[in-house]
Amino acid sequence: MPTLTQEFTKGLWKEIPPFRLVLGICATLAVTTSAKNGIGMGVATTFVLVFSNLLISMLRKLIPRNVRIAAFIVIIASFVVLAELYMQAYAYPLYKALGIFVPLIVVNCIILGRAEAFASKNPVLPSLADGLGIGIGFTISLFVVGAIREIIGHGTFFSVPVMWSSFKPFGVMLKPPGAFLCLGLILALMNFISSRQKR
Amino acid sequence: MIVVLTVICACSALVLAYANKVTKAPREYQLLKYVEAPSIKAVLTSYDNDPIKDRVVLKMGKDKKGRPLTRNIFLAKKDGKIIGLAYEAAGMGHEGLIHVMVGVNTAGKITGIRITTQSETPGLGSKVVEPSFTKQFKGMALSDSLNLSAKGGKIDAVSGATVSSKGVVAAVRKALELFPKIKKEIG
């Protein structure tokens, strides 16, 4: 039986999404054009993930097995709409920047995946730790991808110029191919480190 | 099975309806702040308040289906006193309605206008958004000179875009015609 800390920390390296689980790729590729957008998306996803995990784990004995997916989706969608409303009310520029990808958190595989694979089978506290760990892991990943793409593709970090003045930004990094390149290289690097550790 | 799903859906609807109600005012405020604020700032002068916060919503007339129409009036204040108003009006251009934000001071004189939405021909009619055209309205009141020069007024139409220019003039005139009524409502 893994401890709470283990449930929490597995989301930060061992099962860090989207690099290890390779889930939730849509959001990862689409919104990480800057570090700030990456964090915004990560925080919104974490919010939804933690609360849907919490609620689903609380209701896990009440929800009949045959309609569990439908029930999960309703719960997840409700939290997504909540996040969307509050974002619109208090963080309008971020809401505009993320656009359609905020409502699309509903179909983010990580959230449904955690609900189905973890929260529906475990008590409340481990589910909470799992949601928080995976959510923070996802936020870190989006931040890293966003930061790399912003620095190379735009020459800035959190909108502050960080490169030397003669630096010519690689515009391709801000486009979809750049997202794939970046994600692929990070995946390769992580696999390399893991295989080194095993030896 | 059906009971559980129904209960979950009902709870979710309840929570969302509540959240929708709570966030309605701030959401409207943010939308106005990021979408309308630039034009409001451009048409009002020397105020020290937040015109979006100090807006009043007036019911003015009815639409074709008989539902009441509302209009946002943005108030410019200085030292707590109203010094001007800004509100939108629309006029028919060449390709569709041209919406114009008009700033008016308490004497009924224009402090500035700005086109907010238009779909005029790019490069021709769309030139009505340029300051060289819109600045002509500054300081004018509802009079005969508030018209295109071809009609005896003092506004020079954008060359090659008479219809679009006419639409802007019509919108501004409409706005000024509403002014006495709005002034009375606000007091």
- ipTM metric: 0.76
Asked whether the beta carbons of residue B23 and residue A88 sit closer than 8 angstroms, the reply is yes
Distance CA B6, CA B103 (A): 52
Q: CA of A19, closest CA in chain B: separation in Å?
A: 32
| Residues of B whose CB is below 8 A from A81 | 16, 19
Could you read off the pLDDT of A166-179 as tens digits, one per residue? 888 888 888 889 99
- Is some CB atom of chain B closer than 8 A to the CB atom of A180? no
- Is some CB atom of chain B closer than 8 A to the CB atom of A85? yes
Asked whether the beta carbons of residue A67 and residue B1 sit closer than 8 angstroms, the reply is yes
Confirm if A153 and A170 have CB atoms less than 8 A apart: yes
Query: Does the model's pTM come out above 0.90?
Result: no
Sheet holding B110-117, edge to edge: B55-62, B68-78, B81-92, B97-105, B110-117
Closest-CA residue of A relative to B1 is A64
SS3 at position B63? coil
The answer to whether residue A46 scores a pLDDT higher than 90 is yes
Q: CA of A69, closest CA in chain B: separation in Å?
A: 11
Of the candidates A45, A13, A8, A19, the residue with the CA atom closest to the CA atom of residue A148:
A19
Asked whether the beta carbons of residue B4 and residue A86 sit closer than 8 angstroms, the reply is no
N-terminal to C-terminal alpha carbon distance within chain B:
60
Which residues are registered as beta bridge partners of B160?
A: none
Domain ranges of chain A: 4-198
pLDDT band at A148 (very low <50, low <70, confident <90, very high): very high
Confirm if A110 and A49 have CB atoms less than 8 A apart: yes
| Residues of A whose CB is below 8 A from B34 | 92-93, 96
Distance CA B83, CA A140 (A): 50
- Is some CB atom of chain B closer than 8 A to the CB atom of A59? yes
Classify strands B97-105 and B55-62 as parallel, antiparallel or unpaired: unpaired
Distance CA A165, CA B67 (A): 59
